[in-house]
Amino acid sequence: MNQTVKDIFCNRRVKTAAVALPLIVLFLSLAPKWLFFVLLLAVLALLGRESRPLFFAESEVLRRYGAIWFLALLILSAAALGGVAALAAALVFSVFVLVLLLFADGLEPGALPRLAQALLFIIYLPFFFAHLLLVWDLPAGRCLVAMVFMVTWGGDAFSYYAGTYWGKHKLAPQISPNKTVEGLFAGLVGGAFFALLLNWLGLLTMPWHKIVILGMAANLIGQMGDLFESYLKRSHGIKDSGNLIPGHGGFLDRVDSVLFAAPVVYYGCTLWVL
C-alpha cells in the first residue's frame, strides 16, 4: 500500500470520523426530534464544561455562572419549541438578564469585560448550536443536519491531508500554525463534494449550483469557526479543549466548525435556496 494512503487510513482523525459520521447519519434517520434535542443538550453541557476556561475565570461567582447556564438552556429550548422567532426572543431576554447582572456588579473593575465574555459565550455556544434544531425543522431537515456535519467534517479531512502533503502557504500562522491556504481550498472542494453527494443520492433536491455554493459557504465559515476556537485557546495558552475524542481533543475541538456552519445552512436555505 502506498505510504501516503496508509498514513491517511491509519490516522486517528480519520478513524474517529469514519466511526462518528455513519453513527450520526443513522441517528438522524431514526431519532425523533425530542431525542435530538436531548442529545444536543447533553453535548452542550460537555461543550460548556470544556469551554469554561475560555470564557470564565476560576473565581467566577457561582450565581452568575448558574444564571448563564439557565439562559443557555432557555435558548436551546426556545429553538426546539418555537423556532427562529422564539430563539431571537430568548437571545434578547438573555441580553437583558446579563445587563441586570452587570448592574448587580456595580462599577466593580472587570464587570464590563465579564459581561462581554458572557455574551460571547451565549452567542457562540447555545445560540449558534440551537440552529441545528432550526435546520431540523426545514423541509428535508434531517438530511440538511447531516449536510452540516458532512461538509464540515468531510471538508476538514480534505483540508487536513491537502495541508499535510501539499500545503506550503500558511493561512494564519499566529492562530493555527498548521493550517494552510492549500488546505482551505481543499476544504471548499470537500464541502462541495459532500453537498453534491447528498444531492446525487436523492437525499436533497436542490439545483446543483445552489447546493455547491451552500456546501462551500458552510465549509468556509466552518473553517472560520475552527480558527476562532484556536484563537480562544491560544489567547489562554490551551492546546486542546479536552481529550474525549481520539485524534481530535475535546468535543469543542470537533464541533467548532459545526457551530459556525449550522447558521449558514439555515439562513442560506430559508433566504435563498428554499
In the chain, % of residues over pLDDT 90:
52
Instruction: Quote the mean pLDDT of the chain.
Output: 86
pTM across the whole model: 0.88
Write out pLDDT tens, residues 160-197. Answer: 888 888 888 899 888 888 899 999 999 999 999 999 99
The owner of cell 422564539 is 86
For the chain, the domains span: 1-30+139-274, 32-137
Reading the block at residue 138, the C-alpha cell is 426545514
**Integer Cα distance of 220 and 249 in angstroms:** 22
Quote the strand ranges of 136-204, DSSP E.
Answer: 170-172, 176-180
Q: Taking the alpha carbons of 240, 171, 126, 117 in that order, is the dihedral positive or negative?
A: positive
Write out pLDDT tens, residues 77-103. Answer: 999 999 999 999 999 999 999 999 888
**Integer Cα distance of 70 and 58 in angstroms:** 19
Write out pLDDT tens, residues 13-43. Answer: 566 666 676 777 778 878 899 999 999 999 9
**Integer Cα distance of 186 and 154 in angstroms:** 11
In three state form, how does the secondary structure of 73-111 look? Answer: HHHHHHHHHHHHHHHHHHHHHHHHHHHHHHHHHCCCCCH
